[in-house]
Amino acid sequence: MRRGILSTLALVLLVVQAWAQDATVTVKTTEGEHVINRNIYGHFAEHLGRCIYDGIYVGDDSTIPNTDGVRNDIIDALVELKVPVLRWPGGCFADTYHWMDGIGDPAKRPSIVNQWWGGSVEDNSFGTHDFLNLCERIGAEPYLAGNVGSGQVKELADWVQYVNHPGGSPMSGLRIENGQKEPWNVKYWGVGNEMWGCGGNMAPEFYANLYRQYSTFMTDWTNSDGLYRIASGANGADYQWTEVLMRDIPKPLIEGVALHSYSVIDWGKKGPAKNFGEELYFKTMKAALFMEELVTKHIAIMDKYDPEGRVDLIVDEWGGWYDSKESETMGVLYQQNTMRDAMIAGATLNIFNNHADRIKMANLAQIVNVLQAVILTNEEKLILTPTYHVMKMYNVHQDAVLLPLELETSDYEFQGEKLPAVSASASKDESGAIHISLVNIDAKESQTVILNLDGTDNKKMTGEILASDKLEDYNDFDEADKISPKKFSGFKGKNGEYKVTLPPFSVVVLELK
């Protein structure tokens, strides 16, 4: 009987090995040139649904433990995540937001109707001071999105003065009067948002001229490197938009140009956040992997007008976007976060890493309770999503030197279509440790990766994996840790040559010291 069991197990192992597909990753460990900017791992918080109110901010009279109204558990989670930069207050909301409504005595602040997202009435209790103080607490750089669509040049110029001027000016005096003596020295500024759409339905030529006007009056007093001004960039594959901005805006007036792209299969019917099945999963991953073509083509246009690389590409909105019935009860654009979202995050971050020569910031949409959130809350409860865990696993790449690699991969096939099954990126940190992030998007089959790391003396390999039994698995408020990173030992080898087995729909980060 025992012999029969062993024979059966051996047969199962042979079958599993037959299913496993081969990929080859060759990491050029001595050829690193570009640094992976930590801001590629940035986030985005908009006044939308329950992201700010009843998410990040519960008020200082809440029974939920908080610091100046911001949930302590969220602060702790974001510190642990090493959030490098946080964009606020939008999004579409930014071009209806008047920053002076959110300063001074909260009891005297006017309310606003959130015309873009559900028509809710907000009391402006969370404003500039609250956001910038939050950024300080979590160690993140603030990225303020200015109102160009419904605002005025003076309004944005005054905001810059309010947060950055050391003292002696009208706006710095107002800041000091409101309790903040020292300036925050905010570096990153968005000059409008989605000007092709909710920001004003503008033509690119019109916006380019408007941008020139606004950026001219955004004077900086304290930052020796100057302000970092980001133009509202293209919607996905609108390459003409990037062409016009790069052609018409003088380089001294612009530091970054944005790009927005979501992993959406059909804007008219996005599909469910849960119980989606393999067909919708495949289509979603096809949309996510399209990011490679998008950034490559936009960068080519930027190179034509800016061969010196002075202007950076900023992907300040990206992520999965689905139709969710939970939005009816849990807030506008609330959606669950499954292993599918972990695949989107891992594959997309690999793309951003590998284009670190031009991509200097990216902002996942959004940080709490909205779209591909890293944190979900329900009253006093909080859960960390699979996306949170991927971004935490990947934070070893922040400010590390990108290591070029060559990748050959088999395909993930579904109903006659094919996608590359494996994606990868690699970096070397200040200590000399090498990190390799590997993603297998195949919903059914393992992938065997032959990993070559010639030129390194590092010998000790360890690993971490995010995986689950089912593609549609997620963490919920009754089972918060169903999906979490585990120690990974699915590799063997030595002297720079390793064989790594990636389970279906998994994310692995290896460390070689």
Amino acid letter for position 90:
G
511 catalytic? Reply is no
Query: In this structure, are residues 162 and 142 in contact, taking their beta carbons and an 8 Å threshold?
Result: no
Mean pLDDT computed over 414-432: 97
Task: Please tell me the distance from the alpha carbon of residue 207 to that of residue 201, in angstroms, as a whole number.
Answer: 10
Rounded to the nearest 5 degrees, what angle is found at the Cα of 348, between the Cα atoms of 145 and 361?
Answer: 30
- Domains of the chain, first to last: 16-32+403-512 (2.60.40.1180), 38-398 (3.20.20.80)
Class of residue 1 by CB neighbours under 10 A (exposed 0-12, middle 13-18, buried 19+): exposed
Task: Please tell me the distance from the alpha carbon of residue 74 to that of residue 316, in angstroms, as a whole number.
Answer: 21
State the helix-helix crossing angle for 128-138 and 153-164, rounded to 10 degrees: 50
Token digits for 243?
A: 């062409």
Q: What is the pLDDT of residue 221?
A: 60
For residue 259, is pLDDT > 60? yes
Mean pLDDT computed over 223-229: 77
Query: In this structure, are residues 503 and 446 in contact, taking their beta carbons and an 8 Å threshold?
Result: yes
Task: Please tell me the distance from the alpha carbon of residue 422 to that of residue 419, in angstroms, as a whole number.
Answer: 9
User: How far, in Å, are 18, 139, 369 from residue 365 at the CA level?
Assistant: 39, 19, 10
Q: What is the mean pLDDT of the chain?
A: 94
How does pLDDT run across 88-100, given as a tens digit for each residue?
999 999 999 999 9
Q: What is the pLDDT of residue 46?
A: 98
For residue 41, is pLDDT > 60? yes
Residue 324: left if φ>0, alpha if ψ -120 to 50, beta else—which one?
A: beta
Mean pLDDT computed over 9-29: 63
Q: What is the pLDDT of residue 222?
A: 60
Query: In this structure, are residues 47 and 122 in contact, taking their beta carbons and an 8 Å threshold?
Result: yes
pLDDT bucket at 18, cuts 50 / 70 / 90: very low
Q: What is the pLDDT of residue 219?
A: 79
DSSP assignment letter at 50 = T
Mean pLDDT computed over 409-426: 97
Place of tokens 């606003």: 112
In the set 141, 194, 464, 472, the catalytic residue is: 194
How does pLDDT run across 109-152, given as a tens digit for each residue?
999 999 889 899 999 999 999 999 999 999 999 999 999 999 99
Place of tokens 């654009």: 333
Three-state SS string over 444-512 comes to CCCEEEEEECCCCCCCCEEEEEECCCCCCCECECCECCCCCCEECCCEEEECCEEEEEECCCEEEEEEE
For residue 20, is pLDDT > 70? no
Q: What is the pLDDT of residue 225?
A: 62
Q: What is the pLDDT of residue 454?
A: 82
Say what the alpha-carbon torsion angle 83, 87, 91, 95 is, to the nearest 10 degrees. 170
Query: In this structure, are residues 373 and 74 in contact, taking their beta carbons and an 8 Å threshold?
Result: no
For the chain, report the end-to-end CA distance as a whole number of angstroms. Answer: 45
pLDDT bucket at 14, cuts 50 / 70 / 90: very low
* pTM (two decimals): 0.94
User: How far, in Å, are 77, 96, 141, 189, 343 from residue 229 at the CA level?
Assistant: 29, 19, 14, 5, 31
How does pLDDT run across 372-395, given as a tens digit for each residue?
999 999 999 999 999 999 999 999
Amino acid letter for position 451:
L
For residue 19, is pLDDT > 60? no
In the set 141, 255, 317, 464, the catalytic residue is: 317
Mean pLDDT computed over 225-233: 92
* Lowest-confidence segment of 294-308, 391-405, 451-465 by average pLDDT: 451-465
For residue 479, is pLDDT > 70? yes
Mean pLDDT computed over 212-239: 88
Q: What is the pLDDT of residue 22?
A: 87
For residue 8, is pLDDT > 90? no
Mean pLDDT computed over 183-187: 96
Q: What is the pLDDT of residue 202?
A: 98
Mean pLDDT computed over 13-41: 80
317 catalytic? Reply is yes
Place of tokens 């003396």: 457
Mean pLDDT computed over 53-73: 97
For residue 483, is pLDDT > 50? yes
For residue 102, is pLDDT > 80? yes
Contacts of 148 (CB under 8 A, 6+ apart): 95, 156, 191, 192, 193, 195, 199, 200, 210, 211, 214, 232
Task: Please tell me the distance from the alpha carbon of residue 202 to that of residue 223, in angstroms, as a whole number.
Answer: 31
Mean pLDDT computed over 248-262: 96
How does pLDDT run across 322-343, given as a tens digit for each residue?
999 999 899 999 999 999 999 9
DSSP 12-39: HHHHHHHHPEEEEEEE-TT---SB--GG
Say what the alpha-carbon torsion angle 126, 130, 134, 137 is, to the nearest 10 degrees. -150
